[in-house]
Structure 1
């Protein structure tokens, strides 16, 4: 079932004196999931970018080759035309079991494959698309450098038309540098650590989201921004690769029936109105298909009609969805997998987590200091799950703080986050900083960053500082407190600021109660197991764990009724490595929740909010 069961250092991986590439096999991870053995060698076959979809494309996921590059000097001598030492699964984290490597300290890597450009691509541009590469990628095609990208969470495209041969074998070689938290490096990394410790986890390096080629005309759409509001107004920007002023035609469909039409020009924002639209909400996640034509380029997309705002309801500042106060309740959703780390084993596994949350009655997830693939947000759009989206943080606890250059890079990547994901209806709020991690305190950068986010995306709310270091920026007064909540209340902990009634009261994190399980459902790594007792609270039985959950949710309900609480985030969806405080275990095989109790308690939160001016 599995390959060799041990974690290997890249130096060991590269020490292959046989002259033959070691064949791919899944390594035995410290913990499996029900999907580990279902991944196969052609993972993630779905079209990876559902909001800018082209008809002519080819998936490059599958078995590639890998070799340790040892240092940045490796860039000086690319291994063109050479077999590398190991086969590897793409997409996957090089540190994961699914990669076939389960490496450690994979700071410098070579990855290669060969591909054929179909004859149907003749006389068109050949675009090479990467879903995400952590952290820096230098791309070579047929022995020539074709592109470079920095940023481990964002998609990028390389036009490789001049480098490829049609209907022939083409070599693709990618050099990846991922420093994570080595030395004085300060980059957006979320919870990745070279040396994991309790709430910080095994890192992810390499090509961890899908890669594909597609055909496009010479002047093609590079980014499509779509916003549709509750009044039926559709706002469109079709960014182009060529000259400005090309005509753009937009058609909106309800199923196969055309219900709207608008026209404008490339690289200029324009709008039009669709009559009698059905609104998108968690109760009714209605989506409309969109076809956009710019010159010879035609792409397919979709949207949902909804408006996100804030306003006073009975004297309290509230988040509003389609003009109504909707209490937002979700989980801290970290998106880690024991077999794939950052990369879910497959779409079924990814959607399973969301279905569990939706079935329990949660209407939101806080995507915690990680960015998922586009298919995750498509699933939330389809399912009706609101998303509070964090910017991946730099190193925590100001150790060390970013210098000026590093801060500029953080700001650049924050802009990428907003621009690349602002068309997904489910995303309702951007989070700039989490608990002060990477947040400079000599001045208050969150104010300028918040202004920039609002400039890029005026259609959403901004949670400038989720927990801790709050100087008054943004739309939320966001408290973190374990285990019990302090949501919109006149009391607060030492690490949280007093509630600010001029902003939305939110419990950005609470809960975190733990329940230990037997070894077959634990991340079987000694350091992680030894850290379990660092959990905020350990309950000896599931009965006690569910009782504590009930008490804490009842306390939140009481705060909704008495104070100014508008949203809550429960920690967390699943266990992760040494954390045992999930609604499910890390392997997704055990649900801790008493489902009827949790459904009733969650509904009671919405009912309490309805009495204060929300709909149930």
Structure 2
């Protein structure tokens, strides 16, 4: 529903916000709303998908709650602050200390000074905000973990301390037939079994609907039945899905957008990226030091894409200079490390219901990783305690001291996966853990300015990309050769997975499968499908004792496919004209009337008043554990005015 207007300046850096401010250390967001007459239950809940970084929420002038952490959802009961029969005022005060003083916070790749692999920051409310009606004792959290053989571990939490009975019903999505019903005690874990389930996998992403009832409250959700583990196959540690060796191969997926930065223009845009990965042949993605909206993970569940989920990094690669002119890397103190651990808990607890998440990643390339002792061991134990159903990649790249389930190598020029050779920065392969290539590839391809992030600081750092090819023929040939090298390491050594950098270009990085505007898809899809299929075949062949080099098409010298003089452009169904947003200059992409005529009016319109941060996803889509029939969305559409 429409909620008035935003009265703030310099709060959001994105084009979609209508503001494009910078250095938003402090911001105020304001709106008004009425409580719908349909809200006949006892309590009214206010939900935030994510606010970066600290949020203090006021309802009708009263302090309702405070939340810290830019990637995580929070809910506050605002019933006692409301004017039920009158208009209500909602204020949100945001403190976002990006790059500020001594603040060492989970920040990912945001920086006030974007350059090459670090990007424009995102301040304020960047995910959905909505209100909902609930009874006095309502469901606050639902965790259901189903295994491939139909065993279910469940915990249903409520707002009260009751020990009431809660009913869980499992429903077949195709037939709408109830296949299992179980009654347990709220606020306590319980188990039950579901007969004859179809296990979830990338090739068969079967999901089952869930209905949970507690007194007058009912929540709709879903789950998939799958088992993640590790095991030794012919002497090699392997990742297992449903008891079988799976070779996870995907892209580094950063989730940045030219018009919304952290916020995609709509759900279709997110799904387009994921469908493109599936089309090229990938079965996985690594969500790189960002946490997405629930709709993103729901799409991965439905499409069958495994997710390696990063914890957002602490002030990566930043230094401080002391009075004696010495320079040191900024690392967390004890309190900041404790806050990192607390937010890691939030990541696990909030995202663990999603079936597609296969592994948790704690540290990336030593960013924010204390070296005077090894905190990753304790953090790994904590993650395993919160979620024993998944694997943990404690340190992806570089500072690996033996924690977790993976021996993870980063090397762009040549993969070094599960092999006896490694670069100085990396550690040697540890055969007691799973060998994986956590990052490689990163081949660049410069394009015309029409498809680049047209900001000078980004343009100036394009040449820092690891390797830049000037034609798509060369780009695809280099990709073919690197995939062939990885194929050797799968067939001969102990490589068990890989992650190619990356899904899309991001600002000054031009090494994506797609350009930043998603207009150009670089891969020769048939070639990449064949090369990736060879990786899967090589991995499957290693389930027997033979280590002979198989004869795969990937070992032949591929003749590059010639491209026309013009770059081939993809046509995303959700936005055939790309991301042009001329209404809020100086947006990076300019447009003409003819270019934008096909864009969605609801996604790209503007008015004289500023627009609130994009609202990602209709809450009424009943996603995961936060949906009820009586939900009312504060943002009427994916992009709504405040």
TM-score range, shorter chain: 0.7 to 0.9
Q: How many Å apart are 1:229 and its aligned residue? A: 0.3
What is the aligned partner in structure 1 of residue 473 from structure 2? Answer: 543
Determine the C-alpha separation between the residues in 2 that align with 1:566 and 1:259.
36
Partner of 2:408: 478
Residue 267 of structure 1: how far off its partner (Å): 1.0
Q: Distance in 2 between matches of 1:211 and 1:246?
A: 30
Structure 2 residue 366 is matched with structure 1 residue 425 = no
1:289 and 2:215 matched: no
Could you list the runs of 5+ residues in structure 1 that have no partner in the other structure?
1-58, 70-92
SS in 2 for 1:99: coil
In the comparison of the two structures, how many residue pairs are matched? 533
Distance 1:208 1:192 in 2: 14
What secondary structure does 2:170 align onto? Answer: strand
| Contact 2:4/2:32, CA 8 A, preserved across alignment | no
Residue 223 in 1 paired to residue 153 in 2? no
| 1:311–1:318 CA contact under 8 A, matched in 2 | yes
Question: Would the alpha carbon gap of residues 587 and 63 (structure 1) be closer, same or farther in structure 2, given more than 3 Å must change?
Answer: farther
Partner of 2:367: 437
* 1:152 lines up with 2:77 in the alignment: no
> Which residue of structure 2 aligns with residue 400 of structure 1?
330
Aligned-pair CA distance for 1:68: 4.4
Query: Match for residue 565 of structure 1?
Result: 495
With a CA cutoff of 8 Å and minimum separation of 6, indicate the structure with the bigger relative contact order.
2
Query: Is 2:530 the partner of 1:600?
Result: yes
Give 5+ residue unaligned stretches, structure 2: 319-328, 545-551, 553-642
How has the CA–CA distance of structure 1 residues 150 and 96 changed in structure 2, closer, same or farther, with 3 Å as cutoff?
Answer: same
In 1, distance between residues paired with 2:303 and 2:421?
36
Secondary structure of the structure 2 residue equivalent to 1:66: coil
Higher mean alpha-carbon deviation, 147-156 vs 111-120, is at 111-120
Query: What is the 5 A alignment of 1:438-517?
Result: 438-517=368-447
Match of 1:134 in 2: 52
Contact 1:193 / 1:203 at 8 angstroms: preserved in 2? Answer: yes
Cα distance, 1:374 vs. partner? 0.2
Secondary structure in structure 1 of the residue aligned to 2:38 = helix
1:235 correspondence with 2:153? yes
Deviations 1:442-475 (A, max 9, x none): 0000000000000000000000000000000000
Using the TM superposition, give the Cα deviation of residue 63 of structure 1 relative to its aligned residue in structure 2, in angstroms: 6.3
1:396, distance to aligned residue in structure 2 (A): 1.7
How many angstroms does 1:245 deviate by?
Answer: 0.8
CA shift at 1:167, angstroms? 4.0
- Matching of residue 414 in structure 1 with residue 344 in structure 2: yes
- Residue pair 2:199, 2:226 contacting (<8 A) in 1 also: yes
Deviation digits for residues 209-237 of structure 1, max 9, x if unmatched?
A: 00000011111111111100011011110
2: CA distance, partners of 1:423 / 1:94: 30
The answer (yes or no) to whether the contact 1:219–1:243 under 8 Å persists in 2 is: no
Q: Give the TM-score taking structure 2 as reference length.
A: 0.82
CA distance in 2, matches of 1:411, 1:116: 38
Larger displacement relative to structure 2 (162-171 or 456-465) = 162-171
Match status 1:302 vs 2:222:
yes
SS at 1:549 equivalent: helix
Aligned match of 2:578: none
Q: Which residue does 1:195 correspond to in 2?
A: 113
1:554 partnered with 2:484: yes
Instruction: Calculate the aligned-residue CA RMSD, in Å.
Output: 1.3
Distance 2:4 2:22 in 1: 20
How far apart in 2 are the matches of 1:208 and 1:586?
Answer: 19
CA distance in 2, matches of 1:280, 1:173: 43
Residue of structure 2 in register with 1:576 after alignment = 506
Q: Which residue of 2 aligns with 1:46?
A: none
Counterpart-to-counterpart distance in 2, 1:274 and 1:226: 12
Q: Matches of 1:158 and 1:258 in 2, distance apart?
A: 33
Corresponding residue of 1:211: 129
Could you list the runs of 4 or more consecutive aligned residues of structure 1 that deviate by over 4 angstroms after TM superposition?
Answer: none
Match of 1:333 in 2: 253
1:253 counterpart = 2:171 = yes
Q: 2: CA distance between counterparts of 1:590 and 1:251?
A: 45
